[in-house]
Chain A
């Protein structure tokens, strides 16, 4: 999925166990395709995803990090997605203040049955990152 200029972004897509990865399963059941350079990674709950795990890939070679959990009111643990939203807000705020392109982090709800929405998010984020270009931190050896 290169953009013709040879840039194929590396994207980490954190999915919660209950909704996000369910969306990926539904997409598979419907044979929906998403860009191969998007690497899904399952976490128990987006509310349990440490902020450091959003920052670390961005320093160590990823061009973007997407996060998908349950819709509001649908969280398996009642409030994990609300907590995740606060944590994402914190990380994006810090990245923004430091001038590190907070747009490389996306947070979007994907329900278990929303296979199409999962595939769309992966594809849309992929295109979005291609427009942003490579993450300057990933080629820096002095991090």
Chain B
């Protein structure tokens, strides 16, 4: 990350300024296409559009109040077939950029010809809150974002501490809003690719970043404290078989959390596969053992099993919780599991393309507390009668 940025006047607000800038990149043929959230014709949601005609950008909203589809998933869908030869700039949230990084490591996305642009993220509203009244939601979001108030945002956004480039150095180009003088925003290059685009746009790297960096770090520290406290409280409310099964008791097995998750890329999910569709005798045996068997079975196995598959790459984006029709706090649980397990593996999901996925990599000298120490010639405590 460079220590100088390029200032962009934004008297009409961040979105207008950024859309104007994006239009210019298209017109100057610095990029061939843009992947950017655009308001849908019905005015009640936002969708990622692959834009080649600059006129479409009039309805673009680089920082929409909701996240109906996770941008990492969109980037994966776009680039799954390989790098391609078009230069595309994608405007996404920091967590979406981090998901794109994880998906690239999982060989589900290719970022070579993609320019990732992120923005200091104020969070997003819960999808259901916004859809109840889109116009009021947009106003509520704008006010909260302007004041830095995260309370109306989704629970995982309230405790997010990876909202900027300094904490999530995934993007090629980052738009800083925090700590900037009134009516300006600042472009912070995150990679040589980003620097080159600024150069081609004729923008000099002459703006000091100290104010922005100071504000970001201060907020990040406060957010980290908030996150740890929320996680400690959450840990208390879900720990143990009783509480955990209580949390999942309303689960209707729709698997929406899995479908909305950017990291869950498998074409055939194990938990929907024939491996868990068994002959009736199997269910009878399990019902006999447990006294009864809830149908559909394997709810807890689905959630814990899915956790073993994705938490090491989980970016706490909250897409799962938005997708849950039963309001189960899945994203909060997964953010807790992700933090704890990534910490153990000394890994931060989406931080860098250079970090190897924890289950692909290993160190010979690590995790010795997992190895059960051996007592020479164990004396059995209870002998056979």
Could you say which residues of chain A place their CB within 8 Å of the CB of B344? 89-90, 93
When the two chains form their complex, are residues A143 and B337 in contact, meaning their CB atoms are under 8 A apart? no
When the two chains form their complex, are residues B362 and A60 in contact, meaning their CB atoms are under 8 A apart? no
When the two chains form their complex, are residues B371 and A123 in contact, meaning their CB atoms are under 8 A apart? no
Q: Does B136 contact A (CB under 8 A)?
A: no
When the two chains form their complex, are residues B345 and A89 in contact, meaning their CB atoms are under 8 A apart? yes
How many pairs of A and B residues are in contact by the CB < 8 Å rule?
150
When the two chains form their complex, are residues B358 and A97 in contact, meaning their CB atoms are under 8 A apart? no
When the two chains form their complex, are residues A56 and B377 in contact, meaning their CB atoms are under 8 A apart? no
When the two chains form their complex, are residues B382 and A55 in contact, meaning their CB atoms are under 8 A apart? no
Query: With A and B bound together, what is the CA distance between A60 and B299 in angstroms?
Result: 12
**Given A55-B308, A61-B290, residue A123 in contact with residue B378 (CB < 8 A):** yes
Q: Does B331 contact A (CB under 8 A)?
A: no
Q: Does B47 contact A (CB under 8 A)?
A: no
Contact pick for A97, options B235, B286, B294, CB 8 Å: B235
Beta-carbon contacts of B199-239 to A below 8 Å, as 1s and 0s?
A: 00000000000000000000000000000000000010011
When the two chains form their complex, are residues A87 and B359 in contact, meaning their CB atoms are under 8 A apart? yes
When the two chains form their complex, are residues A141 and B292 in contact, meaning their CB atoms are under 8 A apart? yes
When the two chains form their complex, are residues A56 and B290 in contact, meaning their CB atoms are under 8 A apart? no
Query: With A and B bound together, what is the CA distance between A59 and B359 in angstroms?
Result: 24
When the two chains form their complex, are residues A90 and B308 in contact, meaning their CB atoms are under 8 A apart? yes
* Closest Cβ–Cβ distance, residue A10 to chain B (whole Å): 9
Beta-carbon contacts of B348-385 to A below 8 Å, as 1s and 0s?
A: 00000000001100111011001110110110111010
When the two chains form their complex, are residues B367 and A86 in contact, meaning their CB atoms are under 8 A apart? yes
When the two chains form their complex, are residues A127 and B291 in contact, meaning their CB atoms are under 8 A apart? no
Binds A, one of B7-15, B141-149, B240-248, B320-328: B240-248
Could you say which residues of chain A place their CB within 8 Å of the CB of B240? 99-100, 136
When the two chains form their complex, are residues B294 and A141 in contact, meaning their CB atoms are under 8 A apart? yes
Could you say which residues of chain B place their CB within 8 Å of the CB of A87? 308, 359
* Closest Cβ–Cβ distance, residue B300 to chain A (whole Å): 4
Could you say which residues of chain B place their CB within 8 Å of the CB of A141? 287, 290-294
When the two chains form their complex, are residues A143 and B370 in contact, meaning their CB atoms are under 8 A apart? no
Q: Does B270 contact A (CB under 8 A)?
A: yes
Could you say which residues of chain A place their CB within 8 Å of the CB of B300? 59, 137, 143
Could you say which residues of chain A place their CB within 8 Å of the CB of B289? 60-61, 138
Contact pick for B372, options A55, A56, A108, CB 8 Å: A108
When the two chains form their complex, are residues B370 and A89 in contact, meaning their CB atoms are under 8 A apart? yes
**Given A93-B340, A136-B241, residue A107 in contact with residue B370 (CB < 8 A):** yes
Q: Does B301 contact A (CB under 8 A)?
A: yes
When the two chains form their complex, are residues B341 and A94 in contact, meaning their CB atoms are under 8 A apart? yes
Q: Which residues A44-91 have CB closer than 8 A to chain B?
A: 51-52, 55-56, 59-61, 72-73, 79, 82-83, 85-91
**Given A90-B308, A141-B294, residue A100 in contact with residue B382 (CB < 8 A):** no
When the two chains form their complex, are residues A98 and B378 in contact, meaning their CB atoms are under 8 A apart? no
Nearest B residue to A131, CB-CB? B381
Q: Which residues A125-143 have CB closer than 8 A to chain B?
A: 127, 130, 136-143
When the two chains form their complex, are residues A86 and B345 in contact, meaning their CB atoms are under 8 A apart? yes
When the two chains form their complex, are residues A137 and B372 in contact, meaning their CB atoms are under 8 A apart? no
* Closest Cβ–Cβ distance, residue B208 to chain A (whole Å): 42
When the two chains form their complex, are residues B308 and A52 in contact, meaning their CB atoms are under 8 A apart? yes
Q: Does B305 contact A (CB under 8 A)?
A: yes
Q: Does B297 contact A (CB under 8 A)?
A: yes
Beta-carbon contacts of A1-34 to B below 8 Å, as 1s and 0s?
A: 1011000000000000000000000000000000
Q: Does A42 contact B (CB under 8 A)?
A: no
When the two chains form their complex, are residues B371 and A56 in contact, meaning their CB atoms are under 8 A apart? no
Query: With A and B bound together, what is the CA distance between A122 and B344 in angstroms?
Result: 28
Contact pick for A56, options B293, B294, B301, B378, CB 8 Å: B301
When the two chains form their complex, are residues B362 and A79 in contact, meaning their CB atoms are under 8 A apart? yes
Query: With A and B bound together, what is the CA distance between A141 and B305 in angstroms?
Result: 18
Contact pick for A120, options B243, B299, B378, B384, CB 8 Å: B378
**Given A52-B301, A82-B364, A139-B291, residue A94 in contact with residue B345 (CB < 8 A):** no
Known: A90-B359, A124-B378. 18 other contacts (CB 8 A): A3-B382, A55-B304, A61-B286, A85-B371, A86-B359, A90-B311, A97-B336, A98-B337, A99-B235, A99-B241, A107-B372, A108-B372, A109-B371, A121-B378, A123-B378, A130-B382, A137-B300, A142-B249
B-to-A contact residues, CB < 8 Å: 235, 238-245, 249, 270, 286-287, 289-294, 297-301, 304-305, 307-309, 311-312, 336-337, 340-341, 344-345, 358-359, 362-364, 366-367, 370-372, 374-375, 377-378, 380-382, 384
Closest 4 pairs (CB-CB, A-B): A99-B239, A51-B308, A120-B378, A141-B292
